[in-house]
């Protein structure tokens, strides 16, 4: 499915917007302020993008007059009438979906997630997620209503999925996540207490996560660390990038396990857990993960060079339908028994096949 088709499905997969009608009385003595800034600060979950949409569509009045300019200055004693569009609550449905459960007890379970499965529901993913599957596995039959209005209005990404799925009403407790097209291990809490304790381990960085990636290029040092703040890309807000001016601190440790003619098999350990961290860090260091269409990994980096390398690269791309990134090892302390828990997941078939192709090229 193309990105265009995915985006279309993304928005068709969610109920239509509803209208919230608000009347706001600006306090006397209020210092003049831009109306978009004022409303986005005052109204819960209303980003400036959502406010500007209401302005553009003539849904905002000040003292009875329609205001369309975001730069309009409100002042003390103004009366603002505003219609804000919001998503209605979504019903989360337990679904009978096969799960590869590596470990389970009364408190948590460790799942080996396949590539292609979304971890938790979002604005465009109400069904067929890991959460839908685990709900069914835990014997939950009733639908659960979730309010997804705490989202980034630019891209529909939940700002704090941990907060949404850590509530008393929602099970299971999603402790951490993997990208849709990243395979491998993750832990899911069954109770609020266990969720809180596991989240604390992640916050304290006492959880060990090791990944394997097949990335373009062979010039990465044998081992080392990639350090760089990660923030939303200024070019595409659905993506992330290394930033020297903003973002959150991120550190990825790496070790090259094997070098091939055009790519490297790399082991990576996270010291922080930022969104798309490994993918962004490797791309920033000119070693994008093979198959990663968001960060340049689906582009033939050997086009126009030696014919054999060019043909090999094209073939590898044809066999890589997603970013070749796998969460291989997961280690944490069981929050109830205090046992040291270590789990390993073997590389999936698609990564093994690409490695075989690269290994064969070394023999030619």
Q: List the CATH number of the domain containing 65.
A: 3.10.290.10
Whether residues 76 and 94 share a domain: the answer is: no
Per-residue pLDDT tens over the stretch 34-81: 999 999 888 876 777 778 888 988 899 999 999 999 999 999 999 999
CA distance to 79, 123, 315, per residue, from 84 (Å):
16, 17, 50
Domain-ending residue, one of 167, 198, 229: 198
Per-residue pLDDT tens over the stretch 119-128: 877 655 678 8
Whether residues 230 and 337 share a domain: the answer is: yes
Helix, strand, coil content of the chain in percent (nearest 5): 25, 30, 45
Whether residues 279 and 338 share a domain: the answer is: yes
Domain-ending residue, one of 71, 86, 101: 86
Sequence-distant (6+) residues with CB within 8 A of 333 are 201, 206, 339, 340, 341
Q: Are strands 79-86 and 18-25 parallel, antiparallel or unpaired?
A: antiparallel
| Residue 3 in this model has a pLDDT that exceeds 50 | no
Residues linked to residue 289 through DSSP beta bridges, in sequence order = 215
Per-residue pLDDT tens over the stretch 214-247: 999 999 999 999 999 999 888 887 899 999 989 9
Domain span including residue 164: 90-198
Is residue 264 within 8 A of residue 287, CB to CB? The reply is: yes
Whether residues 224 and 354 share a domain: the answer is: yes
Residues linked to residue 358 through DSSP beta bridges, in sequence order = none
In a domain, 11, yes or no: no
Identify the CATH number of the domain in which residue 246 sits.
3.30.2350.10
- Count CA atoms within 13 Å of residue 244 on its CB side: 1
In a domain, 270, yes or no: yes
Whether residues 215 and 230 share a domain: the answer is: yes
In a domain, 312, yes or no: yes
| Residue 87 in this model has a pLDDT that exceeds 70 | no
Domain-ending residue, one of 86, 103, 127: 86
Whether residues 129 and 158 share a domain: the answer is: yes
Whether residues 117 and 59 share a domain: the answer is: no
Looking at residue 235, the DSSP 8-state letter turns out to be: S
User: Hey, what are 15's tokens?
Assistant: 């109920």
| Residue 13 in this model has a pLDDT that exceeds 70 | no
- Whole-number Å distance between alpha carbons of 277 and 156: 20
Which pLDDT belongs to residue 162?
42
User: Hey, what are 285's tokens?
Assistant: 């260091």
Whether residues 43 and 185 share a domain: the answer is: no
Sequence-distant (6+) residues with CB within 8 A of 241 are 230, 231, 232, 233, 234, 235, 280, 284
Which pLDDT belongs to residue 89?
63
Give the residue numbers marked as catalytic.
179
In a domain, 325, yes or no: yes
Sequence-distant (6+) residues with CB within 8 A of 19 are 83, 84, 85, 86
Whether residues 99 and 164 share a domain: the answer is: yes
Q: Other C-beta atoms within 10 Å of 28: how many?
A: 8
- What percent of the chain is predicted at pLDDT more than 70? 83
Whether residues 138 and 269 share a domain: the answer is: no
Per-residue pLDDT tens over the stretch 187-220: 999 888 898 899 899 989 999 999 999 999 999 9
Q: How confident is the model at residue 160 (pLDDT cuts 50, 70, 90)?
A: very low
Whether residues 139 and 224 share a domain: the answer is: no
Whether residues 218 and 356 share a domain: the answer is: yes
Per-residue pLDDT tens over the stretch 275-331: 999 999 999 999 999 999 999 999 998 887 778 899 999 999 999 999 999 999 999
In a domain, 7, yes or no: no
In a domain, 248, yes or no: yes
Which pLDDT belongs to residue 252?
97
Is residue 84 within 8 A of residue 20, CB to CB? The reply is: yes
Q: How many domains does the structure of the chain reveal?
A: 3
Which pLDDT belongs to residue 348?
97
Is residue 233 within 8 A of residue 184, CB to CB? The reply is: no
The distance in angstroms from the start CA to the end CA of the chain is: 35
In a domain, 342, yes or no: yes
- Whole-number Å distance between alpha carbons of 227 and 239: 18
In a domain, 135, yes or no: yes
């Amino acid at each position: 499915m193309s990105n265009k088709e995915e985006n279309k499905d993304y928005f068709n997969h969610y109920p239509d917007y509803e209208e919230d009608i608000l009347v706001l009385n600006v306090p006397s003595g209020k210092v003049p302020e831009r109306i978009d800034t004022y409303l986005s600060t005052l109204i819960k979950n209303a980003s400036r993008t959502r406010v500007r949409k209401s302005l553009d569509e003539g849904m905002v009045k000040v003292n009875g007059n329609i205001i369309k300019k975001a730069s309009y200055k409100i002042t003390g004693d103004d009366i603002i009438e505003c219609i804000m569009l919001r998503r209605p609550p979504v019903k989360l449905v337990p679904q009978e979906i096969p799960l590869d459960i590596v470990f389970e007890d009364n408190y948590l379970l460790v799942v080996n997630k396949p590539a292609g499965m979304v971890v938790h529901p979002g604005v465009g993913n109400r069904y067929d997620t890991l959460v839908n599957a685990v709900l069914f596995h835990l014997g939950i039959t009733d639908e659960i209503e979730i309010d997804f209005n705490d989202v980034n209005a630019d891209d529909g990404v939940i700002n704090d999925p941990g907060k949404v799925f850590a509530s008393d009403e929602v099970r299971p407790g999603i402790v951490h996540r993997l990208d849709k097209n990243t395979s491998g291990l993750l832990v899911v809490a069954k109770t609020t207490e266990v969720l809180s304790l596991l989240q604390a381990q992640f916050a304290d960085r006492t959880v060990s996560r090791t990944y394997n990636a097949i990335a373009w290029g062979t010039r990465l040092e044998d081992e080392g660390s990639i350090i760089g703040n990660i923030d939303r890309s200024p070019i595409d807000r659905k993506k992330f990038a290394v930033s020297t001016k903003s973002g959150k601190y991120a550190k990825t440790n790496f070790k090259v396990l094997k070098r091939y003619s055009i790519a490297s098999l790399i082991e990576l350990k996270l010291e922080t857990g930022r969104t798309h961290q490994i993918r962004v860090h490797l791309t920033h260091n000119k070693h994008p993960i093979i198959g990663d269409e968001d960060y340049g990994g689906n582009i033939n980096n050997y086009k126009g060079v030696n014919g054999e390398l060019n043909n090999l690269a094209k073939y590898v791309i044809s066999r890589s339908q997603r970013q070749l990134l796998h969460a291989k090892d997961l280690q944490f302390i069981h929050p109830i028994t205090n046992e040291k828990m270590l789990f390993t997941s073997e590389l999936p078939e698609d990564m093994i096949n690409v490695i075989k192709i690269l290994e064969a090229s070394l023999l030619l």
